[in-house]
Amino acid sequence: MAIKPPPPSRTSDLERKIRRGTQFFLNKNWEDARAVCEDLLAAEFPLRSSPSPDDARLHSALLRLYLRVAEQEGEEVEQLKRGKDGGNGRTQLPLEWSYAVEWYGGEVAVVADVLVCGLLLLTKRYHHSLARTTVEIWLASQPDEWFLLARDKSANPQTAANYERIVELYVLHILPDLEDWESAKQFLEYNDTLEEKRKKLYQDCLVRLETNKSSPPPDINPPQQPASTSPTHTPTSRPPPQSLSPASSTAESISTNPFTSTTSAAPAPEPVPVTSTSPAKRQSPQSLQLLARIRALFPALPPILVFLICVILSRRSAKMRAVMGIVARKVIATVRMAIDVHSL
């Protein structure tokens, strides 16, 4: 007689269901992923309960998944971007975040990895002021021992990683969206918990963000260039940087494993190239003056010949300019003679 295997434990059954919800999330099946999360939260994790350590771990994993689903749900997010909710891009406080806060008994009691997902959701829904208040209250309420753990990255990689994510969202996303650059700079300047290398990386990213924000928009009507018979070098198009953040994206850096939020260290980004206008693409005032002078002296010359003479005379090499000037004068004399003969 075959012995029946024991029924799966509650913990293993919950892990299997959460993994199923994670697979829905990875396949962008937001509706089924949300249904899994809401069913498990309602049935297995009632409010104001006292979970065991295993339940607390599974509940944290489930909440992270729940908040990420809410953040990524496509149609609702696209409507927010287009301002269909009244034109200001704001909505009511996300119910998913309200549930997390209520379950933990307040914002200050929310665990760090769940807080990161909640901040992503708040910023995606344009609640930057609330996200700022949440971060500041949460950090102010943490004991000194927690910051000591976050400072020792080798001994406490999980705590340090969570702190870095929170700081990254605060100084590179939340405060810049509120245009409070000074607060972001001062927070980093007086921060003694981050590694110096990481702090310097955030400071550099912040400077680039502020510079790009304050730079004037490009000219939408660039000056038209005359046709040239000489081959010109076409610069290779360069795609815009994906992000100014130290990682490619905080949202993407969060582990897809529902039972851990540990992430591998992301390499520092390449500096954002500063593009400049090539001299071959824009005429200088001297070139324009030279072109106007030649046209005034020789109004009967064909435009293409005038342009070629202008190009020859504007060469940077003095020796080449002298030689080509002699050639140009001979060409002009020949053309003038031909024009005079034709006029007779």
Residue range 82-135, pLDDT digits in tens? 554 444 455 678 899 999 999 999 999 999 999 999 999 999 999 999 999 999
Answer whether residue 178 shows pLDDT above 70: yes
Q: Which residue has the higher pLDDT, 116 or 291?
A: 116
Supply the range of the domain harboring residue 317: 285-343
Q: Which residues touch 213 (CB under 8 Å, ≥6 apart)?
A: 176, 179
What is the domain count for the chain?
2
| In a shared domain, residues 125 and 75 | yes
For residue 88, how far is the Cα from the chain centroid?
Answer: 21
Spatial contact of 68 and 38, defined as CB atoms under 8 Å apart: no
Tell me, yes or no, whether 191 and 91 share the same domain. Answer: yes
Does residue 195 form part of some domain?
Answer: yes
For residues 178-195, b (16+ Cβ closer than 10 Å) or e, as one string? Answer: eebbeebbebbeeeebbe
In a domain, 154, yes or no: yes
157 in the same domain as 64:
yes
Write out pLDDT tens, residues 209-228: 999 887 654 443 444 444 44
What is the reported pLDDT for 135?
97
The answer to whether residues 248 and 307 belong to one domain is no
- pLDDT score at 110: 95
In degrees rounded to 5, what are phi and psi of residue 81? -65, -35
In a domain, 122, yes or no: yes
Domain shared by 21 and 144, yes or no: yes
In a domain, 223, yes or no: no
Distance CA 303, CA 4 (A): 95
Cβ–Cβ contacts within 10 Å for residue 92, how many? 9
Give the C-alpha separation, 69 to 67, whole Å. Answer: 5
**Whole-number average pLDDT of the chain:** 73
Whether residue 172 is found in the same domain as residue 96: yes
Which has more pLDDT, 282 or 255?
Answer: 255
Whether residue 44 sits in one domain with residue 184: yes
| 37 and 88 together in one domain | yes
CA distance 23 to 29: 8
Decide: pTM greater than 0.85.
no
